[in-house]
Chain A
């Protein structure tokens, strides 16, 4: 009846539902993209047909501008509540013969990455701590694994996801404070909330590598002061281990060094800061969370920050195959290196080789590409899902569906409900119903 720390992670929803192989991830994105494209095309075609029909009618009766302002009329003609969105569809230009040009998977990913950066900026703006920010970004990436940016607008989703992440990670901020900071209405935050939470399968826990990084540095500090007791397979004494640590080369493959304890402490501090920065930014903007475990991501970031120290640490914790032939040492190191490669390939990871000018040029080019993509996105949005607030209202109580509930009745009910709510606030509660 013993569990290892790996088994604990296997019980998490992150491992059960949100870990993928690269192939799976690609297939899933492909599938989401195909489904979204089909839906967009069908909805646009339907909308065009309807507009054409209305235009034909319009020659006989009303003017075009009037019709654009009466979405209810359009809805009743169609009979589906989703047609309520047509009121905004009036903005899209009428291109009768042109096929809708949908985004590709790569373009979608690019946009999602871009929106993730928006979330980062948003989090910095409202002053959310690192783990809340990271949770929000992971929620966002999870959401767009099963949904396309063509269906739901990244900007809208990002705002709500940030709010949800604040709630799940105990960064308490009221809705009123939040909307005051972000500058939108309550409904704009709340309308997509249930949709998002559902798409996240109510898996609110995201396991982050931040605390693990602290743990590693806690032990490194102990090693440095010569008081770390070590693993059972390790036969070195505390002092030997300390001396080896101090003699570690500065860079991988470099020559042996001999630092003082104080200098090495500073080195560790620097490593911690760098690894932490990589985890907070680069790791969030890649697929690392889907492909690796938080521990592996953390060691990858640590490896990028200081390879000799990280390798020394891993050697003290995992027995090498020379001692135990069945030890997964090599495999673990390979996985961590693969993860490090993924992190370092992201553009936000600024290795010392890139000069500021080069970086600026790259950013500029990326910005232009993003701008083009956003323009393209505008042309291929799903017309049904543009106004989430209205859609949400249509789902709520007393929504006026065509022919379902008269407006006066709905109004009467609303007044009665408000009365009851007001009475419920009284000291002795609401009055009992009279028979």
Chain B
């Protein structure tokens, strides 16, 4: 527009400017005119970096990030690019493979904070020791220091593959310690996909040859060699107590180990008595789980249980024990134990 109506006096100078490529005045004015720039001046985070559409035109637009690379893009771009499965990140220079399910809206405005929180969460899930797990406070503090150092390594991206490998090994070692009988899949020693920087192609499933190679490299999962002391557990902490797996629960015993051992009778497996015969064949009884032998046992128990209890002797002994050395007579003890206090209680009227 300004080009279309140049003033005659200014014309050569203007052309010079155009020719010299110093288009700053022009481009800045263009930029001022452009819708995009207007928006970005308003709030730069409201433009999708992939499709350049802005919230101004679509107020319902949502931005999502993937914790693989934390590049922000709008929901429709995510749908468009990742609906058909994993695909590389569309942002120029980022080649990580992203999956649709991992996309989420960000919690913190600053993506650096978002990333740090994610990393800390991941580390804390594995490094979950408490002070009580260590023999002394010094060891615990050393542990905390190691954890913090490792966390910062991950955040600042120093030595990431090695740290991730150690974390995985440590997690597996913890699990194995908790339940030594469980079988685990061999740990994938491949670096985390987040650290893949130059694999441009997408690996969906491991091919047959890869699988074979993995199987041979890890050997038999049931082999005892990796459970032996020489196993790499990622980290070794001084003073860390050995974690003991809880013992398997023994079957519930309602009588707490007690049993009845009859002294005066021997229970037979079978009795033939006329009035017992009916019960043996009557479905009314056996259908409900009525056990014949229990009833015989109960009869014999009631017949002979208490036969050798001599109430007179035992009660006198009981009261003597109850009254103790206080010199209280048997009668007083009897009164106190059997009724003295309770007479008032009983008299509700």
Query: What residues of chain A have their CB less than 8 Å away from a CB belonging to chain B?
Result: 1-6, 8-10, 15, 17, 19-22, 24, 27-28, 31, 35, 82, 146-147, 194-195, 198-199, 201, 207, 209, 211-219, 221-222, 225, 227-232, 291-296, 298-299, 317-318, 328, 331-332, 335, 384-385, 388, 391-392, 395
Contact = CB atoms under 8 A, between A and B. Distances in A.
B331 to A, nearest CB: 6
- The size bracket of the interface on B is 35 or more
A3 B309 contact: no
Interface in B299-349: 299-312, 315-316, 331, 334-335, 338-339, 342-343, 345-346, 348-349
B348 A194 contact: yes
B261 interface: yes
A120 B144 CA distance: 82
B302 A211 contact: yes
Nearest to A9: B306
Contacts of A6: 263, 305-309
Interface stretch (B80-88, B99-107, B150-158, B270-278): B270-278
Nearest to B334: A24
Contact of A28 (B262, B298, B300, B338): B338
Given A4-B262, A17-B338, A295-B307, A207 B349 contact: no
Interface stretch (B121-129, B197-205, B252-260): B252-260
A218 B299 contact: yes
Contacts of B316: 21
B209 interface: no
Nearest to A382: B349
Contacts of B257: 1
A28 B339 contact: yes
Nearest to A391: B349
B296 interface: yes
Nearest to A143: B346
Interface of B: 257-266, 268, 271-274, 276, 296, 298-312, 315-316, 331, 334-335, 338-339, 342-343, 345-346, 348-349
Contacts of B310: 331, 335
A8 B260 contact: yes
Contacts of B298: 211
18 contacts: A3-B260, A5-B263, A17-B338, A20-B311, A20-B315, A28-B338, A147-B346, A198-B345, A211-B298, A214-B303, A293-B305, A295-B303, A296-B309, A317-B304, A318-B264, A331-B308, A335-B310, A385-B349
Contacts of A211: 298-299, 302-303
A216 B300 CA distance: 7
Nearest to B342: A201
Contacts of B339: 28, 31, 146
Contacts of A296: 306-307, 309
Q: Is the interface of A mostly helix, strand, loop or mixed?
A: helix
A213 B300 CA distance: 9
A411 B195 CA distance: 83
Residue with the highest number of chain A CB atoms closer than 10 Å, among B274, B345, B349:
B349
B300 to A, nearest CB: 5
Contacts of A317: 264-265, 304
Contacts of A332: 307-308
A213 B261 contact: no
B303 A21 contact: no
Nearest to B275: A214
A6 B272 CA distance: 27
A214 B299 contact: yes
A46 to B, nearest CB: 15
Contacts of A147: 346
A212 B264 contact: no
A218 B271 CA distance: 7
A147 B331 CA distance: 19
B349 A3 contact: no
A294 B302 contact: yes
B288 to A, nearest CB: 15
B296 A15 contact: no
B134 to A, nearest CB: 40
A218 B305 contact: no
Contact of A207 (B296, B302, B311, B342): B302
Contacts of B296: 215, 218
Contacts of A385: 349
Nearest to A145: B339
A292 B311 contact: yes
B302 A3 contact: no
A5 B346 CA distance: 33
Contacts of A384: 349
Given A3-B258, A388-B349, A215 B309 contact: no
A147 B346 CA distance: 9
Given A6-B307, A227-B272, A195 B349 contact: yes
Nearest to A81: B349
A192 to B, nearest CB: 9
9 closest residue pairs by CB, A with B = A215-B299, A293-B306, A5-B305, A212-B303, A215-B303, A9-B306, A212-B302, A2-B261, A295-B307
Residue with the highest number of chain B CB atoms closer than 10 Å, among A20, A27, A214, A227:
A214
A260 to B, nearest CB: 17
Given A21-B312, A24-B315, A219 B345 contact: no
Contacts of B261: 2-4
Residue with the highest number of chain A CB atoms closer than 10 Å, among B301, B309, B310:
B309
Given A20-B315, A229-B268, 9 more contacts: A2-B260, A4-B261, A35-B343, A146-B343, A213-B303, A215-B300, A215-B303, A227-B272, A317-B264
A229 B346 CA distance: 51
B2 to A, nearest CB: 74
Contacts of B274: 221
A292 B306 CA distance: 9
A169 B258 CA distance: 28
B259 A295 contact: no
A31 B308 CA distance: 31
A35 B346 CA distance: 14
B331 A27 contact: yes
A108 B261 CA distance: 43
Contact of A215 (B302, B311, B312, B342): B302
Given A5-B262, A384-B349, A19 B315 contact: yes
Contact of B305 (A8, A31, A198): A8
Given A5-B264, A215-B296, A195 B346 contact: yes
A190 to B, nearest CB: 13
Contact of A221 (B258, B263, B273): B273
A194 B339 CA distance: 18
Given A6-B306, A295-B305, A27 B266 contact: no
B266 A298 contact: no
